[in-house]
Amino acid sequence: MTQRLGEPRILRGDQLVAAEETRKLSDFRGEAFRTSQSAMMMVDADMTITYVNRSLLATMRRYQAEFKSHVADFDPDNVVGRNMDDFHPGALRDRVRGILSDPSNLPYSAYIALGDSRFSLKTSAVEDAQGNLIGYVNEWLDVTQSYYSNAMLQAIDDNMLKADFSVDGSFIYANDHFYHTFGRTRDDGQEWAP
């Protein structure tokens, strides 16, 4: 039996079952992506944003002013359909495209600052069943709070005496300022008395 152009394809029972299982799995994956607590974005091979899940949309709304400082016409409710190039000015555009066009770079991790906010991004390739690139998925992690906490701890370590001792008084760690204050060095081999 030959099929004419435009005629519906007739599937056997086992093909129908397999097609239904594929549809269910696709629906499950799509819903999991949509409702994930991880902030995620889908971008097609031409770098056009095709989807932003609820978590990333909430992040974009929360940091809208910071995004606008980078992209003047930024609107979190209208990022789908925009090209990622809009967010990468000048030479950065070519650099990002160059990184993503080389599969050996993927997954690719980056750290970005938007105003006073900080984000960790991980970009992974999405391929079809034949291994052809069909797009990318970007995972966004808001690291603003940890960035400032780490900066404060680093400032303390850089500018103050700091030493850690266990409950029984055993020495655990000291920064260079602590060693210097006591006329010591890290590698002098002497024990710290409780």
**DSSP string across 1-47:** -PPPTTSPPPPPHHHHHHHHHHHHHHHHHHHHHHH-SSEEEEEETT-
DSSP label of 110? E
DSSP label of 86? G
CA distance 13 to 20: 11
- Per-residue pLDDT of 55-105, as tens digits, reads 999 999 999 999 998 899 999 999 999 999 999 988 999 999 999 999 899
Confirm whether pTM is higher than 0.75: no
**pLDDT for res 7:** 61
| pLDDT confidence bin for 106, thresholds 50/70/90 | very high
Would the pLDDT of 169 be above 90? no
Would the pLDDT of 192 be above 90? no
Tokens of 126: 């999405």
Would the pLDDT of 120 be above 90? yes
DSSP label of 76? G
**pLDDT for res 155:** 80
Please tell me the least confidently modeled range out of 42-51, 65-74, 141-150.
Answer: 141-150
